[in-house]
Every structure is written in structure tokens, then in C-alpha cells.
Chain A
Amino acid sequence: MSALDVIFSGTMLAQTVRMTVPYACASLGGVLSERSGVINIALEGILLSSALAAVAVQNATGSALSGLLAGVACGALVGLAHALLVVRGRVDAIVSGLAINLVAAGGTRFVLRALYGSSSNSPSVRNVEIAESWGLFARTVLDPFVLLTLAAAGLFAWGLRRTRFGLRLRACGEDPSAAQAVGVDVGLTRVLAVTIGGAICGLGGTALAFELHQFQAGMTGGRGFIALAAVIVAGWRPWPAVLACLAFAALDALQIVLQNQTRVPSQLFAVLPFVATLLALAAVSRRTSGRARAPAGIGKNPV
């Protein structure tokens, strides 16, 4: 089969959709966190740690559902840690995010060796079971992770725009001092936003680990950072963020096919998603007005 046949096959499309899930979940978490005014570069560390938590619990209990819950809970916890450091501790959000990423990168290897005696990967676990007889399309569309991601995107888009909590969250991101002045508890709102964002990001980490049927050290490979770039490209809005992630995931899937199908050195394609992210970032960075702009109060504390 030629490379082109592979690229336009149904398997490839299905693969792209499944690969979108970790990106999309992380960027939804990023949207929520940054709309409330907290910069979140800890997404990478959240993805990584929740992937390990999901695999470890799944491995111990044998139940995919408890693995998923553990992944989500771990994501929420790490998100909470980031939020508390930034909101209550007044630590610079970038410093806190960097530290969390460091701890996650080292900590997952540490735990991996403590639990399984290997510093590179865990024993394999089973993904959520779906009947083979359903056909590729149904299996892709009805994949629980895909459904959950879409549901979360819908919920966030509606919640940000239509609910009281969403309005307060956006107010904290746009002008924390004004929000505080009208009686919004800025700290609490931000902690909640980042924690919920962490939980959804944890879902992404779980999906990533289950997709590969195991945890591998450093398996996120920069997905959290690309997801963060997707947040910016999408103008801090949930649905566009999912779409941007779909584009990045398509590139990622394409990159894997091209590595296997062509004789060009694999490193050339491996950097493709990162080059694309950089270009996309450069293209949108000039935008400072309109609906697709950064929250004005991002990184600011109420006075």
C-alpha cells in the first residue's frame, strides 16, 4: 500500500480521532484554567502523572473503570496542587508549572521502578472493551473517551457562556480586581477552575495510556505543550481548541505513517508537529482584539 492510500484510509481517520483525545482533553483543561486567569504549563505533567495513575490502578484492580477514575482523580489532584501554589502561595504560574512537570517526569519514573522494577515501561493493561463486531466507524465514534471528550467540550462551552460559575470564572480571568470588588471569591473560583481542568486533562492522560495499553516513561512527548499552544491558537475557546487539537493530532498520525512508509529519516517527520505548532503560534500571536484574544487578567492577582 502506498503512503497516500494509508493516509486517506478509514483506519487512519479513526487513528487520528483517537489520537486527538489526549490533546483535546489537555487543551480543554488549559482553556478552563487560563480563562480563569491561571497560566497552565503543568498540562504536560498532569497528562504524564494521570497516565501512570490510571495504569497502576487498572493493573492492581483489573478494572478499566477504576483505572479511569484514578487517572481523572490524579489529574484533579495535580491541578489542585498547581492551583494552590499559584493562588494561595502566590508562586509564579510558570515556575509552578515547570516544577510540577519536573516532579511528574522524575516521579513517574521513580514510581515505575518502585512498582514494577523497570524505569521505562509498565506491564500492559487492557483498554476499555468494545465489541469487534461493531465496525470501525461505530467503534471510533462510540469510543468512551471520544464521547467523554466531546461531552466535556460541549459542557465547557455552554458552562463558560451560560452559567453563573462560567461568568464568574471569565470575570476572574478578565479582571480579577473587579471580580473581587463585586464579591466573587477569585481564589476559590480559580482553584476550582484549575482543578476541574486538571481532571479533564487527567482523562486525556488515561486515554493516552489505555491507547498504548501501558505506561511508558515520558510517553506524553510534549503533547501537553502542544495542547497549550492549541489553546492559544484557538483563542481560549473550547470547541476551536478541540478542532486545533484535531489538526495537530492529524499531523501526528501523518508523521507516524510517513515514518513507516518513506525512506526519509524519521527525525525529520518527528519534529513536524512541533514545527507546525511554532508556525501556528507565530501566525496567531499578532491577534490582540476580537473574540479570540487572551484573557486580560491572565497571570494577575486581585489587588
Chain B
Amino acid sequence: MPAVAGVAAGWLAFCLLVWAYGASPRDMAVLLAEGTWGTTYGAGQVLFKATPLLFTGLAVDLALRAGLFNIGAEGQLAVASLAAGVVGSRLPASTPFVIALPVTVAAAMAAGASWAAVPALLKGRLGAHEVISTIMMNRIAEGLVGLLVASGLGLTGTVRTPDVVPGARMPRLDAVFPAFRGSAASFAIVLAVIATALVMIAHQRSRFGRELGLIGLNPRAMAAEKVPVKRRLEQALIASGALAGAASLGTVLGYKGYFEEGLGAGAGFGGVAVALLGRGRFWGLVLAALLFGTLQQGGLALNAHVPKELMDVLQGVVICAVALADARLRDVVTSAVVRPIAKPATGAGGAGVT
């Protein structure tokens, strides 16, 4: 139900804004559909846009299970992308695929994890609210990445790193499926889906995953069970940062083949939207990533007629609508189950009434 409400509200906002801008909603919708799922190239571009979103969505979702908002996926991805670009280009040119790719991805994930470790430790050890500290870390990442690229890690006079070695590149989809020719989609999307499936299984089957979910539901009960709640929260945020860093598979290794300033920007915030819409389910996350990927690609297809920023507005509207519908649903459930117990009907006099 919430997903339907989200899509409906997004559609309504789309029509309203396009109309207010003076264009025809129907024409624009047709253009949007043609520019995304209408051609195999467009579909490939949607997959390409959805790849980092699925990784960051998975990352935000993991932290959300424990009740933490990781708004810092943006900065974690920026630092991780730089690490991927630097490590991937410093490897010997003849490094085989089976070594180069895992090493590069591991470096990216480690960088993302370490960037998330700062707010994680501030949260666990000092109790600093993770929302503000991750936002600050985003800004610091932006400055730091720019500084490092400008002073030594990048090619002189540019804002990009050298090319990564061929072995660290993620193969493009069009190498196997010629229909996607020209689009930037790579096999990173397959990895993203596999990673999502694995993490979802881990949430259900592993001890760590179960504990995280239960901490999100009731931290005090878990503390009473002698689960180290604070340490689990730290670990959740760090793991979330590592997953966000893996999104560089789609951008640095799958698309450009090098890191340049601003590559993958926006995927971190998009991940928050994906996680909120995906609601912790495998298909939810995959479909949400595809939806927002479609919106991003569709925004580019419309940009000549309507500003592509329209899609950012839609993203916000969809988040709001989903959250609203979700709260409605919860209210209905709560009032049916909890209210009669928590709050005796007026007039039900005396103690002992349950």
C-alpha cells in the first residue's frame, strides 16, 4: 500500500509541476518512457543509474534496521571512489582480473567503512547523533577528496585519477548483450543484486543480522539480553559505510574507469530514498533502485523541455508519501491492538481494568 501511495503521489507531483512549467504532462510522460524503458539503450542507462543506488540503498537499509540513519553514504562513497581510483590505477598493469578487481573493491569498501567509522565511534562512545555527524562527514569528504585529487593523487591539472588497470574494470553489459550497446551499464548491477540478496539472507540467518534487527526494535531488551548494543550500532554503521563504498563498482570501475571529482554524487542521498521506499525487502530495494534510476535517467531525457531537477522534487514527494502511508498503516494497526490496553476507555473506572 505505501509503495502505491508513493508512486501515485509522485505521478501527481510530476503532472502538476510539468503543467506549471508550461509543458504537457502527457507528452513529457511519453518522452520519459521512451527515454528510459523505450529503447534497450535507455534501459541500459536505467540499470547503470540504478547500480550505485542499489548499493547505497542496501547500505542505508542495513543501518536503518538497527535504528540508525546513515545520511553519510554520500561522503562514504566519495572517499571510496577515490580509493578505488587510486588503488586501481597503482596496481601493475598486468594484474589479472581475479586479483585486481577484488583488491580494488576491497580498498573502496575499506575506505567507505573507515569514513563511516568516525560517526560510528562518535555515536557508540560519545552518543553524538549520527545524522548530524554523518552530514558533517559528507562535507568534509567533499573538501578532502577535492584536496587530495588536486594535490598529488590525481593527474596534474585535472580533477581525475589515472585510468585503473584493465583487470580492475568491471565488464560492460554490452560485451555479452549487444542490445545494450552504448549504455554505461556494467555487470556491477548483477553484483549489486547478488549483494542485496546475500545481505537480506544474512539479516535473517546470521546472528549479527538478527541482533541488528532486534536492536532496531527494542534496544533495551537486547541490552538486557547482554547483547553489546553500542558495539553493534558501531559495527552496523561501519558495515553500512563499506556497502556504500561498494557502489563505486558501478561508477568508477564499471563506467569511467577512473575517478573524477563529483563522480557518483547524489547516489548517497538517493540511497536514503531507496532504503525508505524499499522497506527492508529484497524486491523492495531492487524495485526502488530501478524506480529512482528511471527517474534520474528520465530527468536527463526531459531536460531539454523541463528542468531535470524536477526529479529531485519527485524523490522528496515519494519519500513523504510513502512515510505518510506507512504511518497511517501503523496507526490502524496500533489502534486495533495497542490502544485498548495502553489507554482504558473513558469511564472505565478504577484500577484493574485491562
Q: Which residues of A contact B (CB under 8 A)?
A: 41, 85, 89-92, 94-96, 98-103, 105-107, 109-110, 113-114, 119, 222, 225, 228-229, 232, 265, 267-268, 270-271, 274-275, 277-278, 281-282, 285-286, 288, 303
Q: What are the residues of chain A within 8 A of B128 when measuring CB–CB?
A: 281-282, 285
Closest 6 CB pairs of A and B: A106-B312, A271-B143, A103-B316, A102-B316, A90-B327, A109-B309
> Which residues of chain A have C-beta atoms less than 8 A from B309's C-beta?
106-107, 109-110, 113, 119
Contact B126 A285 (CB under 8 A): yes
Interface residues as binary, B296-308 with A (CB distance below 8 Å gives 1, 0 otherwise): 0000000000010
B150 at the interface (CB under 8 A from A): yes
Q: Known contacts A225-B135, A275-B136; can you find 10 more A-B pairs with CB under 8 A?
A: A85-B320, A91-B327, A106-B315, A109-B307, A119-B307, A268-B143, A271-B142, A274-B140, A274-B143, A303-B342
Complexed CA–CA distance, A271 and B269 (Å): 20
Minimal beta-carbon separation of A145 from chain B (angstroms): 25
- Whether B153 sits at the interface, judged by CB under 8 Å, is no
Q: Decide: A96 and B307 in contact? CB cutoff 8 A.
A: no
Residue of A nearest to B149 (CB): A267
Cβ contact within 8 Å between A281 and B310: no
B322 to chain A, nearest CB (A): 9
Q: Which residue of A lies closest to B71 (CB)?
A: A98
Chain B interface bracket (under 10, 10 to 19, 20 to 34, 35 or more): 35 or more
Q: Is B331 an interface residue (CB 8 A)?
A: yes
A271 to B140, CA, bound (A): 5
Q: B127 near A: Cβ within 8 Å?
A: yes
B312 and A105 form a contact (CB under 8 A): yes
B307 and A99: CB pair below 8 A? no
Output the least CB separation between A126 and chain B (Å): 27
Distance in Å from the Cβ of B28 to the closest Cβ of chain A? 14
A106 and B276 contacting across the interface, CB-CB below 8 Å = no
CA distance A275 to B122 in the complex (A): 13
Whether B190 is near chain A, meaning CB under 8 Å from some CB there, is: no
The secondary structure that dominates the B interface is helix
Q: Is the CB of A275 within 8 A of B140?
A: yes
**A232–B312 contact, CB under 8 A?**
no
B13's nearest neighbour on chain A, judged by CB, is: A103
What is the CB-to-nearest-CB distance from A293 to chain B, in angstroms, rounded to a whole number?
A: 12
Binary per-residue interface labels of chain B (264-280) against chain A in the complex, 1 for a CB within 8 Å, 0 otherwise: 00000100110010000
B18 vs chain A, min Cβ distance (A):
11
Which A residues touch B315, using CB under 8 A?
A: 102, 106
Main secondary structure of the interface of A (DSSP, over half): helix
With contacts A96-B320, A98-B319, A106-B313 taken as known, whether A278 is within 8 angstroms of B126 at the C-beta atoms is no
Taking the nearest CB of chain B, how far is it from the CB of A284, in angstroms?
Answer: 9
Alpha-carbon distance between A228 and B17 when the two chains are bound, in angstroms: 31
Q: Which residue of A lies closest to B269 (CB)?
A: A102
Which B residues touch A275, using CB under 8 A? 136, 140
Q: In the complex, are the beta carbons of B132 and A103 less than 8 A apart?
A: no
Chain B residues whose CB sits within 8 angstroms of the CB of A106 once the complex forms: 309-313, 315-316
5 A-B residue pairings within 8 Å (CB atoms): A89-B323, A265-B147, A267-B150, A281-B133, A285-B127
Residue of chain B at shortest CB distance from A119: B307
Which B residues are in CB contact (< 8 Å) with A96?
Answer: 320, 323
Neighbouring A residues of B7 by C-beta, 8 Å: none
Contacts A99-B319, A109-B309, A274-B139 given; does A225 touch B132 at CB 8 Å: yes
Distance from A303 Cβ to chain B, minimum over Cβ atoms (Å): 6
Q: How far is the CA of A92 from the CA of B165 in the complex (A)?
A: 45
Asked if B131 lies at the interface with its beta carbon under 8 angstroms from chain A, I say yes
Q: Are B136 and A91 in contact (CB under 8 A)?
A: no
Q: Which residue of chain A has its CB nearest to the CB of B270? A: A102
The complex places the Cα of A110 from the Cα of B269 at a distance, in Å, of 18
A95-B323 in contact (CB<8A): yes
Nearest chain B residue, comparing its CB with the CB of A225? B135
Quote the shortest CB–CB distance from A224 to chain B (angstroms).
10
User: Which of A41, A110, A268, A286 is the most central at the interface, judged by chain B CB atoms within 10 Å of its CB?
Assistant: A110
Which residues on A sit within 8 Å (CB–CB) of B147?
A: 265, 267-268
Minimal Cβ-Cβ distance residue in B for A222? B139
Task: Report the separation of the CA atoms of residues A191 and B312 in the bound assembly, to the nearest whole angstrom.
Answer: 26
- On whether A229 and B312 interact (CB within 8 A), knowing A99-B323, A281-B122, A286-B126, the answer reads no
Tell me how far the C-beta of B286 lies from the nearest C-beta in chain A, rounded to whole angstroms. Answer: 21
Q: How close is B220's CB to chain A, nearest CB, in angstroms? A: 15
Kindly list chain B residues whose C-beta atoms are within 8 Å of the C-beta of A270: 143
Chain A CB within 8 A of B137 CB: yes
A163 to B10, CA, bound (A): 43
Q: Which residue of A lies closest to B324 (CB)?
A: A89
Contact A90 B313 (CB under 8 A): no
Closest CB-CB distance, B116 to chain A, in whole Å?
Answer: 14
Separation of A106 and B126 alpha carbons in the complex (Å): 34
When C-beta atoms are compared, the residue in chain B nearest to A271 turns out to be: B143
- How distant is the Cα of A70 from the Cα of B276 in the complex, in angstroms? 33
Q: Is there an interface contact between A303 and B139, defined as CB atoms closer than 8 Å?
A: no
Contact, CB under 8 Å: A41 / B307: no
- Whether the Cβ atoms of A110 and B17 lie closer than 8 Å is yes
Provide the bound-state CA to CA distance between A222 and B316, in Å.
Answer: 18
Are B323 and A92 in contact, with the CB atoms below 8 A?
yes
Inside 8 A of A99's CB, which chain B residues have their CB?
316-317, 319-320, 323
B330 located at the interface, meaning its Cβ lies under 8 Å from any Cβ of chain A in the complex:
yes
With an 8 A cutoff between CB atoms, is B129 at the interface? yes
Q: Which residues of chain A have C-beta atoms less than 8 A from B207's C-beta?
A: none
